[in-house]
Amino acid sequence: MDTQTSLNSEIGLGNNSGKNPRRKWILAGIAVIVVLGVGIGIAERPSASAAEIPPSDLYQVHSLASKKTISTEGTVQSASEVNLSFQGQGGKVTSVKVKVGDHVKAGQVIATLDDSATKNAVQQAQSALDQAEAGVSQAEGNVAQAQGNVAEAQAGLVKATEGATPATKSVAESNVEKAQAALTAAQQQYKDQQAAYNDRTTAYQQLVAAQNAAQEAKAALDTAQANQQSQIDAAQQALTAAQNNLQTAETNLQSAQQKDGNITEQQVDEAYQNYQEALSRFDSYQKTYGDANNPYASQLQNYESVYEGLNQGYQELQSDQTAYNSAVAAVAQAKAQLTSAQNGVSTAQAQYDAAEKALQTAQATYNDRTAAKQALDAAQSQVQQAKAALANAQAAYKQTVEPADKGTVDSAKAGIQTSQAGVKTADAGVQAAEAQVKSAQAALNNAELNESYMTLRAPVSGVITDKNIQPGDTVSPGQTAFVLDVQQMQVALPISESQMPYVHQGQKVTFTVPEIPNKTFTATIFQVDPTPIEGNGGSYQALATVDNPTSSLKSGMTGPVSIDVSGQQDTMVVPAIAIHNENGQQGVYLYDPKATKSEKAQASQLGLPENVIFQPVSVQSESGYQAEVTSGLNDGDKVVLGEGAFLVGDNGTVDES
- 511: domain CATH number is 2.40.30.170
- Checking if the pLDDT of 92 tops 70, the result is yes
> Which of residues 248 and 226 earns the better pLDDT score?
248
Mean pLDDT of 151-166: 76
Q: Are residues 235 and 298 in the same domain?
A: yes
23, burial (CB in 10 Å: exposed 0-12, middle 13-18, buried 19+):
exposed
Which pLDDT belongs to residue 500?
Answer: 80
Distance between CA 399 and CA 395 in Å, rounded?
A: 6
Residue 136 has what DSSP assignment?
A: H
Distance between CA 103 and CA 84 in Å, rounded?
A: 15
pLDDT in tens, 426-435: 899 999 999 9
> Is the CB of residue 629 less than 8 Å from the CB of residue 572?
yes
The CA distances from residue 174 to 314, 385, 593, in Å, are: 87, 18, 64
13 in a structural domain: yes
Candidate ranges 27-31, 286-290, 496-500, 599-603; pick with highest mean pLDDT: 286-290
Mean pLDDT of 138-161: 85
pLDDT in tens, 388-415: 999 998 888 887 777 666 777 788 788 8
Candidate ranges 4-8, 183-187, 497-501; pick with highest mean pLDDT: 183-187
Mean pLDDT of 34-57: 40
Which pLDDT belongs to residue 83?
Answer: 86
Q: Are residues 589 and 642 in the same domain?
A: yes
CATH number at residue 18: 2.40.420.20
pLDDT tier at 50 (50, 70, 90 boundaries)? very low
Mean pLDDT of 550-562: 84
- Among 163-167, 254-258, 450-454, 474-478, the minimum mean pLDDT is found in 163-167
Distance between CA 565 and CA 559 in Å, rounded?
A: 19
Q: Are residues 153 and 239 in the same domain?
A: no
Q: Are residues 350 and 293 in the same domain?
A: yes
Other Cβ atoms within 10 Å of 336 Cβ, number: 12
Other Cβ atoms within 10 Å of 148 Cβ, number: 12
Number of domains in the chain: 4
Q: Are residues 21 and 104 in the same domain?
A: no
User: Maximum Cα–Cα distance for the chain, whole Å?
Assistant: 149
| Domain C-terminal end among 517, 541, 567 | 567
314 in a structural domain: yes
pLDDT tier at 438 (50, 70, 90 boundaries)? very high
Mean pLDDT of 75-85: 82
200 in a structural domain: no
pLDDT in tens, 218-241: 888 888 878 777 878 888 888 899
Residue 471 has what DSSP assignment?
A: T
> Which of residues 379 and 227 earns the better pLDDT score?
379
Cα-Cα end-to-end distance for the chain? 16
Which pLDDT belongs to residue 295?
Answer: 87
pLDDT tier at 573 (50, 70, 90 boundaries)? confident
263 in a structural domain: yes
646 in a structural domain: yes
Q: Are residues 77 and 131 in the same domain?
A: no
Q: Are residues 521 and 577 in the same domain?
A: no
CB under 8 Å to 590, separation ≥6 — which residues? Answer: 612, 613, 614, 615, 633, 637, 638, 639, 640
> Is the CB of residue 111 less than 8 Å from the CB of residue 506?
no
pLDDT tier at 382 (50, 70, 90 boundaries)? very high
Which pLDDT belongs to residue 277?
Answer: 92
Which pLDDT belongs to residue 485?
Answer: 76
Distance between CA 330 and CA 335 in Å, rounded?
A: 9
Q: Each residue of 455-485: b (16+ CB within 10 Å) or e?
A: ebbbbbbbbbeebebeeeeebeeeeebbbbe
Q: Each residue of 257-268: b (16+ CB within 10 Å) or e?
A: beebeebeeebb
Distance between CA 23 and CA 647 in Å, rounded?
A: 7
Instruction: For CA atoms 176, 182, 188, 193, give the dihedral sign.
Output: negative
pLDDT tier at 52 (50, 70, 90 boundaries)? low
Mean pLDDT of 459-472: 89
Mean pLDDT of 368-381: 84
Which pLDDT belongs to residue 322?
Answer: 92
CB under 8 Å to 38, separation ≥6 — which residues? Answer: none
Q: Are residues 261 and 321 in the same domain?
A: yes
Which pLDDT belongs to residue 1?
Answer: 41
- Checking if the pLDDT of 350 tops 70, the result is yes
Which pLDDT belongs to residue 553?
Answer: 81
CA angle 521, 522, 523 (to 5 degrees): 120
pLDDT tier at 598 (50, 70, 90 boundaries)? confident
Mean pLDDT of 235-262: 84
Which pLDDT belongs to residue 176?
Answer: 92
Q: State the residue range of the domain holding 485.
A: 68-113+454-567
- Checking if the pLDDT of 470 tops 70, the result is yes
Tell me what the pLDDT averaged over the chain comes to.
Answer: 80
520, burial (CB in 10 Å: exposed 0-12, middle 13-18, buried 19+):
exposed
Candidate ranges 105-114, 301-310, 604-613; pick with highest mean pLDDT: 105-114
Other Cβ atoms within 10 Å of 527 Cβ, number: 18
Q: Are residues 360 and 245 in the same domain?
A: yes
Mean pLDDT of 112-138: 93
pLDDT tier at 475 (50, 70, 90 boundaries)? very high
Distance between CA 530 and CA 539 in Å, rounded?
A: 10
Which pLDDT belongs to residue 39?
Answer: 30
206 in a structural domain: no
306, burial (CB in 10 Å: exposed 0-12, middle 13-18, buried 19+):
middle
- Checking if the pLDDT of 369 tops 80, the result is no
CA neighbours within 13 Å on the CB side: how many for 122?
13
Q: Are residues 467 and 546 in the same domain?
A: yes
> Is the CB of residue 136 less than 8 Å from the CB of residue 433?
yes
What's the whole-model pTM score? 0.34
178 in a structural domain: no
pLDDT in tens, 104-118: 998 999 999 999 999
pLDDT in tens, 479-518: 999 988 766 788 999 998 778 877 888 889 999 999 999 9
174 in a structural domain: no
| Domain C-terminal end among 419, 449, 479 | 449
pLDDT in tens, 515-544: 999 999 999 998 888 778 876 667 889 999
pLDDT tier at 67 (50, 70, 90 boundaries)? low
- Checking if the pLDDT of 35 tops 50, the result is no
The CA distances from residue 304 to 260, 280, 362, in Å, are: 17, 12, 82
Mean pLDDT of 349-369: 85
Looking at the chain, the whole-number percentage of residues with pLDDT higher than 70 is: 83
CA neighbours within 13 Å on the CB side: how many for 216?
10
38, burial (CB in 10 Å: exposed 0-12, middle 13-18, buried 19+):
exposed
Q: Are residues 412 and 507 in the same domain?
A: no
- Checking if the pLDDT of 159 tops 90, the result is no
| Domain C-terminal end among 516, 536, 567 | 567
Looking at the chain, the whole-number percentage of residues with pLDDT higher than 90 is: 29
Mean pLDDT of 55-84: 77
Q: Are residues 79 and 11 in the same domain?
A: no
Residue 532 has what DSSP assignment?
A: P
From 521, 565, 563, select the one nearest 545 (Cα to Cα): 521
Which pLDDT belongs to residue 569?
Answer: 61
CB under 8 Å to 445, separation ≥6 — which residues? Answer: 620, 621
What is the DSSP code string of 620-653? EEE-SSEEEEEES--TT-EEE-STT-S---SS-E
Which pLDDT belongs to residue 408?
Answer: 74
CB under 8 Å to 403, separation ≥6 — which residues? Answer: 163
What single-letter amino acid sits at 309?
G
Which pLDDT belongs to residue 13?
Answer: 33
Mean pLDDT of 91-100: 95
> Which of residues 205 and 458 earns the better pLDDT score?
458
CA neighbours within 13 Å on the CB side: how many for 450?
24
Candidate ranges 237-251, 332-346, 412-426, 512-526; pick with highest mean pLDDT: 512-526
- Checking if the pLDDT of 48 tops 50, the result is no
